[in-house]
Amino acid sequence: MIFDSIIFLFAFLPVLLIVYHTVPVQLKNGVLLLASLFFYAWGGLLYLCFMIVSIIFNYICGLWIAGKAKKRHTQRLRLFVCLVVNILMLGILKYGGLLLDSLYPAWNTAENAGFGMEWLAPVGITFYTFQMLSYIIDVYRGKVKVQKNPADLALYAALFVKLPAGPVVKYSAFVKQLHDRKGSWVKFGEGAMFFIRGLAKKVILADNLGRMFEEIMAEAGQMSVLGAWLGCGAFAFQVYFAFSGYSDMAVGLGWMFGFDLPKNFDYPYGAGSVVEFWRRWHISLGAWVEEYVYRLLGKGSVFSILFIWLLTGLWHGISWNYVIWGIYFGILTVIGMSFMRGSLAGIPGVLGRIFSMVLILTGWVFFLCPTPGEAFAYLRAMFGIEANGLIDHYGRYVLMTNLGLVIIVLLSLTPGAYRGLEKIFNRGGRSRALVNGIMYGMLFVLCAAYLVAGDHYPFLYLRF
């Protein structure tokens, strides 16, 4: 089940909200846990089995690591075993099919379609695995007490609001909210509005950008410079609005159930450098990596930066394109954080943002193209080396037919437009709630109309 679906919006969520806010406080966590397991099982019972195995295993790991040991290295060994098993489970389920396809390409044929292992990768497996790693590492460090209630640990791992795309919530931050979270109708209303904003990002902006990208790629063999940049921008912004939209929906849903989840995106395309861009992108995952990986490798070293970026590339899949993408941004990060920091800081604000945008969009090419050869061919078109002119009729046609979408997207990449609308609609005093209700109600109806029409694009990060 996904957030931007009719079954979720008009069946699962309304029923759960009614039940959750009706039952006594003692039963609320149980209702959420059962609903979350049902939500996850909707995508396949086998996926639910994988998650339950992970929860049980890490529950036992927590007790094992917290148990008394005569020597410190015994606890280290216990932690090491638990980490290795978690990483192996993640690797096998996430990459097993890809490895088999690369080792035995003859198997990947039309006759064998549907019999590969790519279906083994459960939705959100990385997110709940990282959260389990957060738990056992913090137990080892003594930052948190071992969780003796398996249902509480299960709710931490399986809470449906953060399953599809995060945010990645550290156990130390979440455990305080398990039995002591504050809800109110004001918080509920703000959560509903935040959810609708995220839904609009995904359904109205991201999905329409996906259609625009498909239009442009239909003429990929004879692309002009304009067409190539439009295609790259459509893809990059589609990923951003879909990912940040899901994160906003997760945060909004969290408020509706009394949880405070961390913000995951902070207008990254308004950043003045590549380093700042990634600090604003998937903030919760960045904080997790810094806490549990970056410090371990040696914070600030060139090796640790490049190694983490290589792992980030491979996290998206086993492909040379992802390797190149990781190395590319790793090098840019090293440059931005070290010897060229002073030189780059001297670039005027607007020029710095344009320069950063060019570098970032160049990197996204290795995502939108399936092979390195196609990616470099696309880059040659973007920079006019092998392009069908600067501007062609088809590129101009796509731009003009999507001009309204392009303007809205560009305005939405920075907080200025939203803050302006907020000032206009939040001046109403007592009528503020009514105005917001009408505006967000109309936005929700528009999103629902798009979904009923059936023009839906799957979320790229669902299986990450």
Owner of token pair 């209700």: 437
Strand locations in 310-396 (E): none
The verdict on 156 and 203 lying in the same domain is no
Read off the pLDDT of each residue in 341-356 and give the average, rounded to a whole number. Answer: 68
Q: Report pLDDT digits (tens) over 107-137.
A: 555 444 444 445 556 777 888 999 999 999 9
- By residue range, what is the domain housing residue 218? 186-453
Report the chain's terminal Cα–Cα distance, integer Å.
15
Query: Quick one: 145 and 208 in the same domain?
Result: no
In a domain, 464, yes or no: no
Burial classification of residue 405, based on how many CB atoms lie within 10 Å of its CB (0-12 exposed, 13-18 middle, 19 or more buried) = middle
Quote the pLDDT of residue 106: 53
Residues 152 and 253 in one domain: no
Q: What is the DSSP letter of 393?
A: H
Regarding whether 392 and 370 lie in a shared domain, the answer is: yes
**How far apart are alpha carbons 156 and 293 in whole angstroms?**
21
Summarize pLDDT for 279-290 with one digit per residue, the tens: 999 999 888 888
User: Got the DSSP string for 290-303?
Assistant: IIIIIHHH-TT-HH
Residue with the two structure tokens 């080892």? 140
- The residue from 128, 163, 182 where one domain ends is 182
Last residue of one domain, picked from the residues 165, 182, 199: 182
Query: Using CB atoms within 10 A of its CB, is residue 190 exposed (0-12), middle (13-18) or buried (19+)?
Result: middle
Residues 342 and 446 in one domain: yes
For the residues 421-447, what does the mean pLDDT come to?
A: 77
DSSP string across 400-422: HHTHHHHHHHHHHTSTHHHHHHH
Q: How many CB atoms lie within 10 A of CB 220?
A: 15
Catalytic residue from among 282, 316, 393, 456: 316
Q: How crowded is residue 400: how many other Cβ atoms within 10 Å of its Cβ? A: 10
DSSP, res 21: T
Backbone angles phi, psi at 340, to 5 degrees: -105, 10
Please report which confidence band the pLDDT of residue 389 belongs to, taking 50, 70 and 90 as the band edges: confident
Phi, psi (5° rounding) for residue 108? -85, 70
pTM, entire model? 0.89
Residue 66 lies in a domain: yes
Do the domain assignments include residue 141?
yes
Query: Between 184 and 328, where is the model more confident?
Result: 328
Q: What is the mean pLDDT of residues 393-403?
A: 90
Quick: pLDDT tens for 64-83. Answer: 998 877 677 888 899 999 99
Report how far residue 37's alpha carbon sits from residue 158's, in angstroms, rounded to the nearest whole number. 7
User: What share of the chain has pLDDT > 90, as a percent?
Assistant: 48
Containing 331, the helix (H) or strand (E) segment is helix 320-337
Average pLDDT over residues 51-65: 93
Is 43 a member of any domain? Answer: yes
Residues 237 and 97 in one domain: no
Please classify residue 315 by burial: count the beta carbons closer than 10 Å to its beta carbon, then call 0-12 exposed, 13-18 middle and 19+ buried. middle
Examine the domain organization and report whether 89 and 106 are in the same domain.
Answer: yes
Distances (CA, A) of 427 to 256, 410, 417, 431, 434: 24, 26, 16, 9, 12
Q: Is residue 158 very low, low, confident or very high in pLDDT (cuts 50, 70, 90)?
A: very high
Q: Is residue 297 assigned to a domain? A: yes
46 vs 43, 50, 95, 116, 120, CA distance in Å? Answer: 9, 6, 17, 15, 8
* Measured distance CA(37)–CA(48) in Å, rounded: 7
In a domain, 458, yes or no: no
Q: How confident is the model at residue 419 (pLDDT cuts 50, 70, 90)?
A: confident
- Residue 280 and residue 366 in one domain: yes
Q: In the structure, what pLDDT confidence band is assigned to residue 428 with cuts at 50, 70 and 90?
A: low
Q: Which of 149, 167, 182 is the endpoint of a domain?
A: 182
* Distance between CA atoms of residues 90 and 94, nearest Å: 6
Joined together, the tokens standing for residue 332 give: 């840019």
Tens digit of each residue's pLDDT (9 = 90 or more) over 288-338: 888 888 877 766 678 888 888 998 888 887 788 999 999 999 999 888 877
Separation between Cα atoms, residue 159 and residue 108, nearest integer Å: 35
Decide if 112 is inside a domain: yes
Residue 293 sits in the same domain as residue 406: yes
Tell me if 130 sits within 8 A of 23, measured CB to CB. no
Interior angle at CA 25, CA 22 and CA 31, nearest 5: 65
Q: Are residues 65 and 77 in the same domain?
A: yes
- Examine residue 1 and state whether it is found in any structural domain, yes or no: no
CA distances from 154 to 24, 34, 278, 354 (A): 20, 10, 31, 45
Mean pLDDT value across the chain: 85
Cis, bond preceding 167 (omega within 30 deg of 0): yes
Half-sphere exposure of 203 (CA within 13 A, CB side): 26
Based on the fold, state whether residues 119 and 246 are members of the same structural domain.
no
Between 6-15, 227-236, 343-352, 445-454, the lowest mean confidence (pLDDT) is in 343-352
| Co-location of 225 and 354 in the same domain | yes
Helices assigned H by DSSP within 142-180: 150-158, 171-174
What's the structural domain count of the chain? 2
Q: Which pLDDT band holds residue 464 (cuts at 50, 70, 90)?
A: low
Q: Which of 461, 419, 435, 445 is nearest to 204 (CA)?
A: 445
Q: Where is pLDDT greater, at 114 or 360?
A: 360
Among 13-17, 44-48, 317-321, 367-371, top mean pLDDT goes to: 13-17
Statement: residue 444 has pLDDT above 70: yes
Catalytic status, residue 316: yes
Q: Tell me the backbone φ, ψ of residue 398, rounded to 5 degrees.
A: -65, -40
